[in-house]
Every structure is written in C-alpha cells, then in structure tokens.
Chain A
Amino acid sequence: EAQVTQNPRYLITVTGKKLTVTCSQNMNHEYMSWYRQDPGLGLRQIYYSMNVEVTDKGDVPEGYKVSRKEKRNFPLILESPSPNQTSLYFCASSLFRSSYNEQFFGPGTRLTVL
C-alpha cells in the first residue's frame, strides 16, 4: 500500500532531550516536507527536500534539523526541544513538485515537550 509513515505517533519528552521523528514513503517520491500544526496558526512548513541531499528551510525552521540521505526517508531532528515545539507534526511527499502532483500526508506525530 502506497503510504507515508511517521514514528512515533505520540511522544512526550522533556526540555533539552534530543529526539528524532522519522518519516518514510514507499512511493519513490522526490519531494518531501515537514509541517507543524498549532491551534489558531494552522499548518506551517518547517523544512522541505527536493531530492536526496537537497533540503531547504520553510517558514518555521528554527530549532529543527533535517537530513535526506535516502530518497524514502526524511527524519526531523530536534536537537534541544523546548515547550514551544509542542505541536502536531506532519510529513508529506509528492512525486515531483509540479502542477499535476499532489502531496500525500502521513498520519501525524503528536509531540509534547515538558
């Protein structure tokens, strides 16, 4: 089944403890992206990747890192999480970044930073 998977789905952690949220797609998509969703602020893009080893910042990249060493995986790294990074995180992918390619979303990761 074609899908975008994220792990973990739920995570409670403490301030400063490094964590990684994994994202994987099995559709051979070139474009992948991370978003966070917060009440009243909607979905905001954190980072995106156009292909392996090619990444760039979205609108809210502060406090996050990403890497794209393989086409299928796009992990989101929080080196020193803070409470303001408590949010619902989504990973998405699309074949290319073009007019006829839609984005597919993962199920989300709910992160709480105490």
Chain B
Amino acid sequence: KQEVTQIPAALSVPEGENLVLNCSFTDSAIYNLQWFRQDPGKGLTSLLLIQSSQREQTSGRLNASLDKSSGRSTLYIAASQPGDSATYLCAPGTGGFKTIFGAGTRLFVKA
C-alpha cells in the first residue's frame, strides 16, 4: 500500500527565502504526482502536476521535481512571500483509482 511522507511537517521562514518541501512515497509505480496548496479551512488548489515521464514542472516561482526510482518529489518555492503561507500537500497517482495524500507541510512566511 502506498505511503506518503512529507518533510518537514511545519516550516517558518522570513520573507524572500528560497525553500524546499519534500515528499517521499513507497510505491514508485506512479503515473503522476500532484502538488496542492490548502489555505486554512479551505479547499485544495492544484499547483503543479508532474507526469511520470517528466522530471520537473515549473509555474512561476514554483518548481516541482520528480524522481520516481527513489520515490521522491520536491517542491521548490523561490523568493517566498507572506501570501505563500498555507499547507502544501503532495499526492502521487498510484495504479488503480485510489489517491493517497501526504499529511502536508505547514508553511508560514514572516513579513
């Protein structure tokens, strides 16, 4: 059964810092991996989708990489801003139709 771990569980950084969020998964037979953002009490917003054949995807200040063989993905946020404060979740798309989410990384960016 797929297990997803996100490290760190929480992170507090000053504005402007570059940071890396980590996601690891035990079953490398995935067909994609999606990163989401969730604001407190709100729904999930899709940030990036990496297909299994891709190594990385970029959107603005965000860059996500995928290393299937080692079961890892990272989300890189450049020049962090207070508006980036949220919980970030990763969800590898495993064979079949189930989705397993990581517990998330709570990010706080201080102005």
Contacts and interface: CB of A to CB of B under 8 A. Distances in A.
B32 interface: yes
Contact of A104 (B46, B89, B99, B103): B46
Given A48-B97, A56-B97, A105 B103 contact: no
B51 A100 contact: yes
Given A42-B103, A42-B104, A102 B98 contact: no
A72 B99 CA distance: 20
B101 A43 contact: yes
Contacts of B51: 99-100
Which interface class (under 10, 10 to 19, 20 to 34, 35 or more) fits B? 20 to 34
B77 interface: no
Nearest to A31: B97
User: Could you say which of B32, B43, B103 has the most chain A C-beta atoms within 10 Å of its C-beta?
Assistant: B43
B102 interface: yes
A90 B44 contact: yes
A44 B3 CA distance: 12
